[in-house]
Amino acid sequence: LAQSYLHSPQHLNTYVLPQFRHRLALMSKFNIPAGSKILELGCGQGETTLVLAHLVGPTGHITGVDPARLDYGHPITVSAARNHILSSPLGGRISFHATDPHTYLSTLPAGHNFDFIILSHSLWYFPSKATVLESLTALRPYAPKLLVAEYSFEGTLKEQQPHVLAARCQAVFYDAKNPVQRAATEPNVRAAPAPAEVKEMAGRAGWGVVKGREGMVTPGEDVKDGQWEV
């Protein structure tokens, strides 16, 4: 997986491997069958996309959709990261679309379906909670199952509290901005719904929670996401 992901060699042990261990732990909880066809929303530079491609095997396919600008990211841009993935041994199982969910769905032929739709570490970055609800509603006809993995805002360890507070602050500050200020803001944590809010919105959109299929995965101490937000 690391070889299929574009990175600076000095970051392999500090950033890349911890991220892939975390995403493998998350996605393995979903028990995704080989050969599955998956729509991943908010795919970013493709870390989870690669893990999913690995899990579905050569007969599966992952469609990654994300509206981020292709020149976004430093030192590696979204475009460079995705091109590297597509040229890797797993690239034949993946397609990327640089657009928002609604625009992508409008391009699908009638009756097109996926086995799963996945939102993994992406809901925090939606423009608003209203957009989250709109997307969950629009997605309902396209797959029988929706898989969601997101930070919980329920960090119980002392080391987790700064991550929770930093993300909440970013969401509050963004919400307080006027439309002009929002347009000038680099997209980062914005909607940041808590798990209870996600479940409530999913219910309003027509999704139900499968009994016994909720759970928590604690990231390893070497995952840097919390430090970056702080």
What is d(CA 66, CA 22) in angstroms, rounded to the nearest whole number? 21
Look at residues 38, 44, 21 and name the one whose alpha carbon lies nearest to residue 147. Answer: 38
pLDDT of 218 strictly over 90 = no
CA dist., res. 82 & res. 188, Å (int): 19
Write the CB contacts of 130 (distance below 8 Å, at least 6 apart in sequence): none
Report pLDDT digits (tens) over 123-150.
Answer: 999 989 999 999 999 999 999 999 999 9
pLDDT of 184 reads 84
How many Å apart are CA 18 and CA 134, to the nearest integer? 33
Secondary structure (H, E, C), 124-139 = HHCCCHHHHHHHHHHH
Rounded-to-integer distance, Cα 59 and Cα 35, Å: 5
DSSP 48: H
* Residue extents of the structural domains in the chain: 2-152+192-210+217-225
Position 114 pLDDT exceeds 90:
yes
Please give the full DSSP string across 155-169, using - where no structure is assigned: --SGGGHHHHHHHHH
- Tokens 């690239």 sit on residue: 91
Question: Mean pLDDT across the chain, nearest whole number?
Answer: 93
Name the CATH code of domain 2-152+192-210+217-225 (choices 3.30.450.40, 3.40.50.150, 3.30.1490.20, 3.40.50.10150): 3.40.50.150
